[in-house]
Amino acid sequence: MAQDQTPGEKPGHPPAQATLHEVRTAENSAPYLLPKLQSMKESNPHLKLLDVGAGSGTISVSFAKLIPDGHVTGIDVNSTILPRARAVAEMAGVENIEFQQGSVYKLPFADETFDITCCHQVLIHIGNPWDALREMLRVTKRGGIVAAREGDYESECVWPELPELGKFHTLMAGRMSSGGGTPTAGRQLVSWALKAGVERSQITLSFSTSSYHTPSERASLSKGLCDQLRGGSLREIALKFGLGNDNDLEEMAKAWEEWAKREDASLAMLHGEILVQK
């Protein structure tokens, strides 16, 4: 979900905070869904896929490449990210895709429109994820799939354990909660799907990890977080909600710079994944 963009960025250029999101693809962010997508594609090459909370669209675009005879719709609640998503698709030469504005709570589509409806790091940020899942199920065809992959922020493993990085973790969890989100989303996906009205037997649960540890991954993560701490929406929210002052945020940024230089440094997190058979 494109929560991190700064209003006023040039259309077609990534918001500073989106840089970390634009490495995401279907292959690295939705491998749990790909075998099912491939088997569905074999019986129907014209699959219709909805990517909810598409953000700058890199995952949506890679789904579109995987179903060249199908069609992908990317939707995001924030209309300011849409020009960037369209630019990402155009740069990739992908034409079987469209992006539009809309809320996961009220998707602008008829019942049973899509074969696959999926989201990535969306439910973790919203207050009523079961309502979102119910709405995703509504627009999905019978025999189709609703899929979600969400982080479990409380599983985050950071090394070395610099004190300012612990404070950063608390800041990020506070930011997530203050926006109505659930830092422990990953472990709660099944309970949310049950609350959305599906049977346990319809749900396939799995877990996977994401991590940053190579020199380029460390540099990229550190730069992305420092940009957010020094000038992005994270700084604005931290100051607004009293989650940290200017000095606190600068100390956290310096800690991330130090972390990136440490050759034993890593950050890893667990993600929950559900496939719901409608």
Site residues (CB under 8 A) for its own copies? Answer: 152, 154-161, 184, 186-188, 190-191, 194, 200, 205-209, 211, 213, 263-264, 266, 268-270, 272
Q: At its nearest, how many Å lie between its own copies and the CB of residue 277?
A: 16
CB 151 within 8 A of CB 172: no
Q: Which is nearer to its own copies, 178 or 210 (CB)?
A: 210
Q: At its nearest, how many Å lie between its own copies and the CB of residue 9?
A: 33
Q: At its nearest, how many Å lie between its own copies and the CB of residue 10?
A: 36
Q: At its nearest, how many Å lie between its own copies and the CB of residue 200?
A: 4
Q: At its nearest, how many Å lie between its own copies and the CB of residue 190?
A: 5
Q: At its nearest, how many Å lie between its own copies and the CB of residue 212?
A: 10
Q: Which is nearer to its own copies, 115 or 152 (CB)?
A: 152
Q: At its nearest, how many Å lie between its own copies and the CB of residue 262?
A: 9
What string of DSSP letters covers the chain?
----PPTTPPTTS--GGGTTGGG--HHHH-TTTHHHHHHHHHH-TT-EEEEET-TT-HHHHHHHHH-TTSEEEEEES-GGGHHHHHHHHHHTT--SEEEEE-BTTB-SS-TT-EEEEEEES-GGGSS-HHHHHHHHHHTEEEEEEEEEEEEEEEEEEEES--HHHHHHHHHHHHHHHHTT--TTHHHHHHHHHHHTT--GGGEEEEEEEEEE-SHHHHHHHHHHHHHHHHHSHHHHHHHHTTS--HHHHHHHHHHHHHHHH-TT-EEEEEEEEEEEE-
Name 8's Cβ contacts closer than 8 Å, sequence gap at least 6: none
Closest Cα partner for 64 from 82, 80, 48? 48
Q: Which is nearer to its own copies, 240 or 261 (CB)?
A: 261
Q: Which is nearer to its own copies, 87 or 194 (CB)?
A: 194
